[in-house]
């Protein structure tokens, strides 16, 4: 078990004051088997006129709030203490053939998974992504063996390069450009798995800022991170895989929540009245406590 | 109409008797009157044409057949019971799919069918119980098969449009063919709307006695707007657009001129996904509305996401859902449908593809191209879960009037149900039938996207006790109110611009007519040449003529050509007619019927007479006169028929500001002559201000500067004088604002200026010289009035577009309210 102190600060500066802002925040670490949330506070400045916490469709914690006084900056700070120790995945050879998992997704046993086998706006049914992913799934291959092969290939074939993509860059473009950031790799992998009929979900969270002793620094530290939840069938359930770092998620990640793609769990959303040009600063620290 | 032996069914006999008594010739004549009545009522077809032109397609006028569809009391009772059960079921299905999802857990409904449905809105899924029902209004499309039984073809849980049109059909049919109602007891629609309204009032949060209920429409540029207008009238609800609402502190408010007014219940008639840009599609809606709805601070019905229950793919699973959720079997049959996400269903389709019609699994009226069926036959259809297949039903026919004869035509029927205040589902004793035309020939599997003529639907009663009085309403006794300060800001904006554009058009028409009259006289005297030159200058300043045309010699061929072009099909005058049309559609619900008709007539005449192009100068003069008359007629109606409330105040404010600017500008240009020739300018100033007769009555034929300018600039009793306009502006602003309002004070100071100008001329040694020095002062005054107008617009009527966090600053999308800055004027 690893205990982390998490601090995620988001600062928006507006060139002219915003008169009225309405926000939807996906910034609450999710309590799941393997992750215990000891404490979590979400501070918003300036003062909110309305705030309500709840859960979204996927069961993630969300906060809805509004700021009804003119303001030229918005600061959202999440501070949390989280313990993580995700169970190791089953031996790959013991997982069912991937075709069986695909079938199970449409059975009653797959009722929790089938939603994530369907295309979604940022991870659509992309034929190219399907072809790319299919190379890891020859007939009859145990599903986890194929998945581990796929994240190793993504790590090898794609360059981690911030700035070449935006949130709206389509999967097809990432595939031809062979570069991007964690979101892009997650969307690419999800689109590819869905094209094969396999359920895959987008996980939003963080990876530790400093690597364990003797290892290299993880890509995607110092900012929001993303990886992929993969379904191994009704018996084994979900396993989280990080294609950006070619890692099985065990004790280096802290999970906020999941959705079909980034749009479902985007950390800070908002609609503004006024504001002019916007500037954004984000900082993330995830250190062992 | 006939039974198996070719005998006329008894239910039709009284109606056929009424038709014979009237004579089929007169019936056909009345049918044409009915068409015309709809044209008048349905927002001047002219307007629709212009709006449709922008979207590149035409809209057909609404038509209603003179022959109603008749349902016996027994038929109706069976339909009402069956549809009420279906509404209860779909309501329970929605509560389950957006709540505990037991239907998915049990397998009664496949999860893929739900999650693949674009109308399943995830932000509406919440673990707890809703404090109020999701579904309170429901419509069903039905088809009657050869066995005489009605079957459900499609469910309408999102909007169920047509209920407003159904009421309108009944009203117009009753007005134009009252005789045919007499031989039968036809149930009235009123009690249904009363029960519906009571049901909406009962939704209000606890402790709210006189709830404010708004009907939320997407605006006048949407196809369904007319339906919303009819419906808001039937139910007596405030018609609002998303831009009229704001969420503060988690509650929903209507933005009015006097501040924010809480809204308790929203009858939602826009797409659920267009409600709130924070949680659904970016760009449209009210930020935070879904949150307020979720918390129960506002009760929005039907809840966003209700369209998920319309999915045709859901049909095969409804019987099992009914057993699981209601413990009942469905009473009313539905057309046989397969959801092709299911392998067994695909097998059935493959066994007999010709027996089925492919359709979208999610959209009730969406057919699917033929190639898809072949793909299913070849078992290689991609994403088969997007499709459903329905076995078509040959629809039965009912008599329809074609020319002077009754002809059988197949039809579909839409019925409407609403929850009353006790939570019971009540069907409207009527409905909306549509003639199918050719679409019905080979059987019908889904409601067609395009429909033929509508039919009123009559429900007969054997017993007058069925005609109920209005139910006891929860509304407390209303306090007397006389102010209309609660005018939505958007409406103020639209009415203000309507006033300005009307005045702008009228002034342009007056100047144009004055010029044409002189050109038509032929060879001009030197004095007339001067007048022509001045008028051309005024027309250029008013944006009617271009500078080059206006500067051409008064006796040449260029000037007539320029004015012809300005009044032609692409000229400035027709554009001004179009400007008048823009705001009026959006404020139709604020104008009286007569004003509406007068506006429609103005549009029609303006377009007809100006659109001809090649007509001669005298035809153009006639067109200008027609426009002037229509504008004066409207001004009279506004003065006599509009309550002196918010809408009138802004209409008047717009008109007065525009006229003040126009008068100052035109007189300024008229006086821009050397003192020796200024008499022509003074005469024209009188003519432009329609004050020639008054001047003659006061001063006979002697034209002098001070008396002329007193009459057109300063006389507070002359409704065309500049001072009169400015005083009216000051008065309106004082009425709108708090005592001592800064804008009203500024306007009052401006209103004193014309007198000062006249005094300067009166006391000058040479009046003509002094008059010729006025133009600078008048044009300066015009721009001060313009500045005042900008301030007024900023305070009362400007709109800011919300945008998303992280979205780059872009030019604001053209909103319904924005005038897209046409022509030489800034809005």
CA distances from B610 to B489, B498, B798 (A): 34, 20, 32
Class assignment of domain A92-262? alpha beta
In chain A, CATH 3.10.620.30 covers 92-262
Cross-chain residue pair A57–B104, CB shorter than 8 Å: no
Q: Could you tell me the sign of the dihedral formed by the alpha carbons of B10, B12, B18, B19, in that order?
A: negative
Cross-chain residue pair A56–B112, CB shorter than 8 Å: no
β-pairing, B265-268 vs B299-301, is: parallel
Closest chain A CA to residue B98: A57
In chain A, CATH 2.60.40.2250 covers 2-84+266-288
- Which chain B residues are within 8 Å of A108, Cβ to Cβ? 107
Q: What is the dihedral of CA A128, A132, A133, A138, to 10 degrees?
A: 120
Q: Is A17 exposed, middle or buried (0-12, 13-18, 19+ CB in 10 A)?
A: middle
Gap between the terminal Cα atoms of chain B: 59
Q: Is B107 on the interface with A (CB under 8 A)?
A: yes
Nearest to A49 among B248, B277, B279 (CB): B248
DSSP state of B795: I
The predicted structure's pLDDT at residue A84: 97
Closest chain A CA to residue B279: A24
What is the rounded CA–CA span in Å between residue B401 and residue B580? 38
The predicted structure's pLDDT at residue B449: 75
ipTM of the complex: 0.96
Residue with tokens 């200058």: B537
The mean pLDDT value for A44-55 works out to 94
Strand-by-strand arrangement of the B238-240 sheet: B238-240, B213-216, B265-268, B299-301
Q: Per the omega criterion (within 30 degrees of 0), is the bond before A46 cis?
A: yes
Give the other-Cβ count within 10 Å of B93's Cβ: 27
Cross-chain residue pair A271–B805, CB shorter than 8 Å: yes
DSSP, collapsed to helix, strand or coil, labels residue B773 as: coil
Residue with tokens 């990876």: A207
Nearest to B116 among A54, A118, A272 (CB): A118
Q: Is B598 on the interface with A (CB under 8 A)?
A: no
Nearest to A24 among B115, B279, B295 (CB): B279
Q: Is B116 on the interface with A (CB under 8 A)?
A: yes
Give the other-Cβ count within 10 Å of B636's Cβ: 12
CA distances from B679 to B27, B91, B541, B761 (A): 64, 79, 21, 14
Task: Confirm whether pTM is higher than 0.90.
Answer: no
Q: What is chain A's mean pLDDT, rounded? A: 94
Give the other-Cβ count within 10 Å of B371's Cβ: 10
Residue A49 structure tokens: 């006129």
- Which chain A residues are within 8 Å of B800, Cβ to Cβ? 19, 273-274
Residue B389 structure tokens: 């297949």
Closest chain B CA to residue A15: B809
pLDDT tens, position by position, B136-150? 999 999 999 888 899
Please list the ranges in chain B whose pLDDT falls under 70.
1-7, 41-60, 370, 438-440, 463-485, 585-586, 612-615, 797-800, 807-827
- Which chain B residues are within 8 Å of A269, Cβ to Cβ? 278, 804-805
What is the rounded CA–CA span in Å between residue B671 and residue B767? 12
The 3-class secondary structure across B322-388, one letter per residue, is HHHHCCCCCCCCECCEEECCCHHHHHHHHHCHHHCEEEECCCCCCECCHHHHHHHHCCCCCCHHHEE
DSSP state of A32: B
Q: Is B633 exposed, middle or buried (0-12, 13-18, 19+ CB in 10 A)?
A: middle
The predicted structure's pLDDT at residue B524: 72
Q: How big is chain A, counted in residues?
A: 289
The mean pLDDT value for A232-238 works out to 96
The predicted structure's pLDDT at residue A234: 96
pLDDT score of A283 more than 80: yes
Cross-chain residue pair B122–A270, CB shorter than 8 Å: no
Cross-chain residue pair A271–B278, CB shorter than 8 Å: yes
Of the candidates B34, B485, B430, B418, the residue with the CA atom closest to the CA atom of residue B254: B485
Cross-chain residue pair A56–B123, CB shorter than 8 Å: yes
Contacts of B723 (CB under 8 A, 6+ apart): B713, B714, B715, B716, B751, B754, B755
The predicted structure's pLDDT at residue B807: 65
Nearest to B111 among A21, A64, A115 (CB): A115
What is the rounded CA–CA span in Å between residue B154 and residue A130? 36
Cross-chain residue pair B122–A57, CB shorter than 8 Å: yes
DSSP, collapsed to helix, strand or coil, labels residue B319 as: helix
What is the rounded CA–CA span in Å between residue B827 and residue B103? 55
Q: Is B481 exposed, middle or buried (0-12, 13-18, 19+ CB in 10 A)?
A: exposed
Instruction: Classify domain A2-84+266-288 by CATH architecture.
Output: Sandwich (2.60)
Cross-chain residue pair A108–B248, CB shorter than 8 Å: no
Chains A & B: contacts with CB separation below 8 Å: 95
Closest chain A CA to residue B804: A271
Chain A from 169 to 198: CB within 8 A of any B CB? none
- Which chain B residues are within 8 Å of A125, Cβ to Cβ? 383
* DSSP secondary structure, A91-146, as one string: PGGGSPBHHHHHHHHTSGGGTTTGGGGS-BTTB---HHHHHHHHTT--TT-BHHHH
Give the other-Cβ count within 10 Å of B790's Cβ: 13
Closest chain A CA to residue B121: A57
Cross-chain residue pair B125–A57, CB shorter than 8 Å: yes
Q: Is A289 on the interface with B (CB under 8 A)?
A: no
Residue B10 structure tokens: 């008894």
CA angle A11, A12, A18 (to 5 degrees): 140
Q: Is B809 on the interface with A (CB under 8 A)?
A: yes
The predicted structure's pLDDT at residue B263: 95
The predicted structure's pLDDT at residue B433: 95
Q: Is B812 on the interface with A (CB under 8 A)?
A: no
The predicted structure's pLDDT at residue B289: 97
Contacts of A136 (CB under 8 A, 6+ apart): A146, A147, A149, A150, A153
B48 vs A24: which has the higher pLDDT: A24
């Amino acid at each position: 078990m690893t205990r982390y102190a998490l601090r995620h600060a988001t600062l928006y500066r507006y060139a002219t004051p915003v008169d009225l802002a309405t926000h939807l925040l996906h910034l609450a670490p999710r309590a799941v088997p393997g992750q215990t949330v000891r404490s979590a506070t979400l501070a918003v400045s300036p003062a909110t006129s309305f705030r309500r916490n709840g859960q979204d469709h996927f069961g993630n914690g969300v906060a809805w709030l509004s700021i009804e006084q003119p303001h030229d900056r918005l600061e959202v700070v999440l501070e949390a203490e989280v313990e993580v120790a995700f169970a190791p995945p089953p031996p790959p050879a013991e997982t069912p053939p991937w075709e069986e998992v695909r079938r199970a997704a449409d059975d009653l046993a797959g009722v929790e998974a089938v939603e994530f086998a369907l295309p979604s706006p940022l991870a659509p049914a992309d034929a190219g992504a399907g072809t790319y992913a299919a190379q890891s799934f020859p007939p009859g291959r145990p599903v986890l063996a194929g998945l581990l092969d796929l994240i190793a290939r993504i790590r090898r074939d794609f360059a981690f390069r911030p700035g070449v993509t935006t949130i709206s860059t389509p999967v097809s473009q990432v595939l031809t450009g062979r570069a991007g950031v964690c979101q892009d790799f997650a969307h690419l992998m999800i689109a590819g798995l869905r094209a094969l009929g396999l359920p895959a979900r987008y996980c939003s969270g963080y990876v530790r800022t400093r690597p364990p002793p003797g290892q290299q620094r993880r890509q995607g530290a110092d900012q929001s991170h993303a990886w992929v939840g993969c379904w191994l069938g009704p018996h084994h359930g979900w396993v989280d895989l990080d294609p950006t770092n070619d890692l099985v998620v065990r004790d280096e990640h802290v999970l906020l929540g999941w959705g079909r793609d980034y749009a479902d769990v985007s950390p800070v959303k908002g609609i503004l009245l006024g504001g002019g040009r916007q500037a954004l600063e984000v900082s993330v620290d995830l250190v062992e406590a | 109409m006939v039974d198996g032996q070719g005998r006329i069914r008894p239910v039709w006999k009284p109606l056929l008797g009424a038709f014979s008594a009237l004579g089929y010739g007169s019936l056909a004549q009345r049918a044409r009157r009915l068409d015309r009545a709809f044209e008048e009522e349905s927002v001047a077809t002219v307007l629709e044409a212009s709006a449709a032109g922008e979207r590149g397609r035409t809209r057909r006028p609404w038509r209603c057949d003179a022959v109603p569809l008749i349902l016996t009391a027994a038929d109706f009772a069976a339909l009402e019971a069956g549809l009420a059960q279906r509404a209860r079921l779909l309501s329970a299905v929605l509560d389950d799919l957006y709540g505990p999802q037991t239907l998915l857990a049990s397998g009664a409904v496949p999860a893929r069918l739900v999650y693949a449905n674009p109308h399943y809105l995830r932000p509406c899924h919440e673990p707890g119980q809703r404090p109020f029902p999701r579904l309170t209004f429901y419509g069903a499309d039905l088809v009657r098969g050869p066995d005489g039984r009605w079957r459900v073809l499609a469910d309408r849980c999102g909007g169920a449009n047509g209920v407003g049109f159904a009421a309108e059909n009944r009203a117009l049919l009753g007005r134009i063919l009252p005789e045919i109602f007499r031989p039968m007891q036809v149930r009235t629609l009123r009690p249904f709307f009363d029960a519906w309204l009571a049901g909406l009032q009962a939704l209000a949060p606890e402790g709210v006695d006189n709830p404010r209920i708004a009907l939320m429409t997407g605006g006048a540029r949407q196809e369904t707007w007319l339906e919303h207008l009819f419906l808001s009238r039937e139910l007596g609800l405030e018609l609002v657009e998303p831009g009229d609402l704001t969420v503060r502190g988690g509650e929903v408010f209507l933005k009015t001129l006097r501040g924010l007014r809480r809204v308790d219940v929203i009858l939602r008639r826009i797409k659920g996904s267009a409600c709130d840009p924070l949680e659904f599609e970016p760009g449209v809606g009210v930020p935070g509305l879904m949150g307020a709805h979720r918390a129960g601070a506002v009760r929005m019905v039907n809840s966003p996401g209700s369209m998920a229950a319309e999915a045709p793919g859901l049909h095969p699973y409804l019987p099992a859902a009914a057993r699981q959720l209601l413990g009942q079997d469905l009473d009313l049959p539905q057309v046989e449908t397969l959801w092709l996400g299911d392998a067994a269903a695909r097998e059935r389709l493959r066994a007999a593809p010709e027996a089925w019609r492919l359709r979208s699994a999610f959209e009730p009226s969406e057919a699917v191209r033929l190639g898809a069926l072949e793909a299913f036959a070849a078992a290689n259809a991609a994403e088969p879960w997007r499709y459903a297949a329905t076995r078509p039903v040959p629809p039965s026919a009912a008599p329809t009037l074609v020319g002077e004869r009754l002809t059988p035509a197949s039809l579909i029927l839409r019925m409407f149900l609403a929850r009353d205040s006790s939570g019971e589902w009540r069907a409207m004793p009527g409905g909306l039938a549509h003639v199918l035309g050719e679409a019905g020939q080979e059987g019908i599997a889904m409601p067609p996207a395009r429909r033929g003529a509508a039919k009123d639907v009559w429900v007969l009663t054997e017993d007058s006790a069925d005609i109920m009085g209005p139910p006891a309403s929860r509304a407390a006794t209303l306090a007397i109110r006389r102010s209309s300060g609660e005018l939505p800001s958007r409406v103020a904006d639209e009415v203000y611009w309507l006033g300005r554009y009307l005045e702008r058009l009228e002034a342009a028409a007056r100047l144009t007519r004055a010029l044409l009259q002189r050109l038509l006289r032929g060879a001009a005297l030197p004095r007339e040449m001067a007048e022509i030159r001045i008028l051309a200058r005024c027309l250029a300043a008013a944006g009617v003529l271009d500078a080059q045309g206006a500067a051409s010699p008064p006796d040449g061929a260029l000037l007539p050509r320029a004015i012809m072009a300005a009044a032609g099909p692409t000229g400035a005058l027709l554009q001004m007619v179009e400007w008048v049309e823009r705001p009026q559609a959006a404020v139709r619900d604020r104008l009286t019927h007569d004003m509406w008709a007068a506006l429609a007539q103005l549009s029609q005449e303006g377009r007809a007479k100006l659109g001809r192009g090649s007509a001669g100068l005298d035809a153009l003069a006639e067109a200008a006169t027609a426009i002037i008359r229509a504008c004066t007629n409207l001004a009279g109606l506004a003065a006599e028929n509009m309550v002196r409330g918010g809408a009138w105040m802004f209409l008047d404010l717009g008109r007065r500001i525009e006229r003040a600017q126009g008068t100052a500008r035109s007189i300024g240009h008229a006086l821009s002559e050397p003192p020796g020739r200024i008499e022509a300018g003074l005469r024209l100033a009188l003519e432009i201000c329609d004050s020639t007769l008054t001047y003659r009555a006061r001063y006979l034929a002697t034209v002098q500067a001070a008396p002329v300018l007193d009459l057109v600039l300063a006389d507070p009793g002359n409704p065309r004088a500049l001072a009169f306009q400015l005083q009216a502006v000051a008065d309106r602003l004082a009425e709108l604002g708090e005592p001592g309002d800064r804008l009203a004070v500024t306007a009052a100071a401006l209103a004193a200026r014309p007198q000062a100008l006249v005094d300067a001329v009166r006391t000058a040694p040479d009046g003509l010289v002094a008059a010729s020095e006025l133009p600078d002062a008048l044009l300066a005054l015009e721009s001060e009035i313009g500045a005042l107008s900008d301030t007024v617009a900023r305070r009362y009527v400007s709109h800011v577009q919300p945008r998303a966090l992280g979205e780059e600053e872009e030019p604001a999308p053209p909103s319904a309210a924005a005038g897209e800055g046409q022509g030489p004027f800034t809005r």
